[in-house]
């Protein structure tokens, strides 16, 4: 347990400042009110490459010899480490080859290429890409830069804890996402070195809980699948070098369902005007599980690389999830004025109709009924119920149906 040292963390903290943006803590009044704690955000989504991964990649490459760098670098990544290695390799003037899963968001692929790296798409998840990257490294003699199972990389990621404690010395809790374990290893180890009283909480997506499985088994285990919208943490097996540090320094690992990440995305967009990817929101979503009233809590927002199509889908699902968009079906006689009657009831309740579908063929007896499907905006669940009650009072017998915006 002596590979990660305070001296190395201090060295890394100086070195990474060459390429990182200062990500000062942001006080979140909204999350503070929700939890009764003083909640701060560490916005690593504001880094040059859109994620914290630049720290570990750059520090790791700084420790390599000229000969190792001259061979060319290779890594596998779901996106953020890819950009970190590509950016750092460019800074050091060496070649980089990145293997990424075929499902990697386009924005991450394009940005990785923009830093001068060669990108190869292979496999469905990170683990498939990693296996192929090792194969290429062996064939071509490239120097492999592992995204998380490397203590130099973890040291670079741990510089986040140094900055948090320098800015907020009295922090009580630090929450960090877990994928392969590099971030939580560095952050938890340095935090405990500087102040053993700080509680460090790791957060995993429930659909890819590889660290939870490893802690339970007492060794690294490989999951059958890593199925989650938090693609940056979709890892089937955590790093072997990380597990002992996590067991020693992490106080608790929490699991978050994908639906909770959708709500967290809306919270951060609406209250902080920031785009944070699903993996980066694990720490925010986990706040609901934590009793931290009266404490100072820092949530690490690990990245913000989300493509526009994914963003659009998340927003739509979030609005539906919170009853700010919903759909109803009503049956009406097929005669003039009925559509206006329905619209008037909704307007009186300040609902906003955004989509109408009028189906005259729902019944063979059109005088008896035609179906009207209405999708509308509301202020939330309470307002939705008021609109439904008003429709009911007017004899319209609304039936709630699945909302679709397309």
pLDDT digits (tens, 9 = 90+) for 92-119: 999 999 999 898 878 788 889 999 999 9
- Note the helical H segments in 331-371: 338-348
Question: DSSP letters along 224-271, please?
Answer: S----S-GGG--SS--TTTHHHHHHH--EEEEE-HHHHHHHHHHHHHH
Q: Does 191 lie in the same domain as 274? A: yes
- The dihedral of CA 154, 237, 101, 145: what is its sign? positive
Is 282 a residue whose pLDDT tops 60?
Answer: yes
- For 342-371, what is each residue's pLDDT tens digit? 999 999 999 999 998 877 665 555 555 788
Residue-level pLDDT at 77? 87
Residue-level pLDDT at 368? 59
Q: Which of the residue ranges 25-29, 107-111, 128-132, 277-281 would you say has the lowest mean pLDDT? A: 107-111
| Average pLDDT value over all residues in the chain | 92
Is 128 a residue whose pLDDT tops 90?
Answer: no
Q: Does 178 lie in the same domain as 117? A: no
Q: Considering the domain boundaries, does residue 406 fall inside one?
A: no
- Of the three residues 97, 118, 144, the one that is the final residue of a domain is 144
- For 4-30, what is each residue's pLDDT tens digit? 999 999 999 999 999 999 999 999 999
Q: Does 168 lie in the same domain as 259? A: yes
CA dihedral angle for residue 88, residue 91, residue 93, residue 95, rounded to 10 degrees: 30
State the Cα–Cα distance between residues 198 and 215, nearest whole angstrom.
21
Q: Does 240 lie in the same domain as 158? A: yes
Mean pLDDT of the 220-230 span: 92
Q: Does 302 lie in the same domain as 236? A: yes
Q: Which of the residue ranges 28-42, 280-294, 326-340, 384-398 would you say has the lowest mean pLDDT? A: 326-340
Residue-level pLDDT at 363? 56
Q: Which amino acids are annotated catalytic?
A: 53, 302
Are the beta carbons of 111 and 82 closer than 8 angstroms? no
State the Cα–Cα distance between residues 178 and 283, nearest whole angstrom.
9
Count of domains observed in the chain: 3
User: Which burial class, exposed, middle or buried, applies to 387 when counting CB atoms under 10 A from its CB (0-12, 13-18, 19+)?
Assistant: buried
Mean pLDDT of the 297-309 span: 92
- Of the three residues 144, 165, 198, the one that is the final residue of a domain is 144
Q: Does 283 lie in the same domain as 196? A: yes
CATH code: domain of residue 330: 3.30.70.260
User: Which burial class, exposed, middle or buried, applies to 330 when counting CB atoms under 10 A from its CB (0-12, 13-18, 19+)?
Assistant: buried
Q: Does 331 lie in the same domain as 187? A: no
Q: Name the residue range of residue 133's domain.
A: 53-144
- For 36-80, what is each residue's pLDDT tens digit? 999 999 999 999 999 999 999 999 999 999 999 999 999 998 788
Q: Considering the domain boundaries, does residue 367 fall inside one?
A: yes
- Of the three residues 86, 110, 144, the one that is the final residue of a domain is 144
Could you report how far apart the first and last alpha carbons of the chain are, in Å? 54
Strands of the sheet containing 73-76, edge to edge, are 118-121, 96-100, 73-76, 143-144
Q: Considering the domain boundaries, does residue 1 fall inside one?
A: no
Is 232 a residue whose pLDDT tops 90?
Answer: no
CATH code: domain of residue 24: 3.40.50.1100
Q: Does 365 lie in the same domain as 247? A: no
CA 66 to chain centre: 35
**Percent of the chain predicted with pLDDT > 90:** 80
């Amino acid at each position: 347990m002596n590979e990660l040292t305070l001296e190395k963390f201090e060295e890394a903290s100086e070195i990474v400042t060459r390429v990182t943006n200062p990500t000062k803590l942001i006080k979140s009044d909204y999350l503070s009110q929700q939890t009764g704690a003083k909640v701060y955000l560490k916005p690593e989504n504001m880094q040059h490459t859109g994620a914290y991964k630049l720290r570990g990649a750059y520090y790791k490459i700084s420790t390599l010899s000229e000969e190792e760098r001259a061979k060319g670098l290779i890594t596998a990544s779901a996106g953020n480490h890819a950009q970190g290695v590509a950016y750092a390799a460019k800074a050091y003037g060496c070649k980089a080859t990145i293997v990424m899963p075929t499902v990697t968001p386009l924005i991450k692929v394009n940005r990785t290429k923009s830093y001068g790296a060669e990108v190869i798409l292979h496999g469905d998840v990170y683990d498939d890409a990693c296996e192929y990257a090792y194969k290429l490294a062996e064939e071509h003699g490239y120097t492999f830069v592992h995204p998380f199972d490397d203590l130099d990389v973890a040291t670079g990621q741990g510089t986040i804890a140094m900055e948090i404690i320098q800015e907020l010395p009295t922090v009580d809790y630090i929450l960090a996402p877990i994928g392969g374990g590099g971030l939580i290893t560095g952050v938890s180890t340095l935090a405990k070195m500087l102040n053993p009283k700080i509680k460090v909480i790791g957060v995993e997506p429930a659909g890819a809980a590889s660290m939870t499985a490893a802690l339970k088994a007492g060794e690294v285990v490989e999951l059958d699948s890593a199925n989650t919208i938090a693609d940056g943490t979709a890892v089937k097996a955590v790093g072997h070098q990380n597990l002992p540090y996590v067991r020693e320094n992490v106080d608790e690992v929490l699991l978050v369902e994908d639906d909770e990440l959708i709500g967290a995305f809306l919270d951060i967009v609406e209250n902080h005007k920031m785009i944070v990817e699903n993996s980066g929101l694990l720490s925010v979503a986990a706040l609901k599980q934590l009793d931290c009233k009266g404490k100072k809590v820092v949530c690490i927002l690990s990245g913000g690389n989300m493509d526009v199509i994914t963003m659009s889908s998340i927003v739509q699902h979030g609005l539906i999830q919170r009853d700010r968009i919903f759909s109803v079906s009503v049956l009406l006689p097929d005669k003039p004025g009925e559509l206006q009657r329905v619209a008037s009831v909704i307007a009186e309740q300040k609902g906003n109709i955004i989509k109408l579908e009028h189906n005259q063929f729902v019944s063979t007896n059109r005088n008896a009924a035609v179906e009207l499907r209405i999708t509308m905006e509301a202020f939330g669940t309470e307002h939705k119920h008021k609109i439904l009650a008003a429709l009911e009072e007017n004899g319209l017998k609304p039936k709630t149906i699945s909302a679709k915006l397309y």
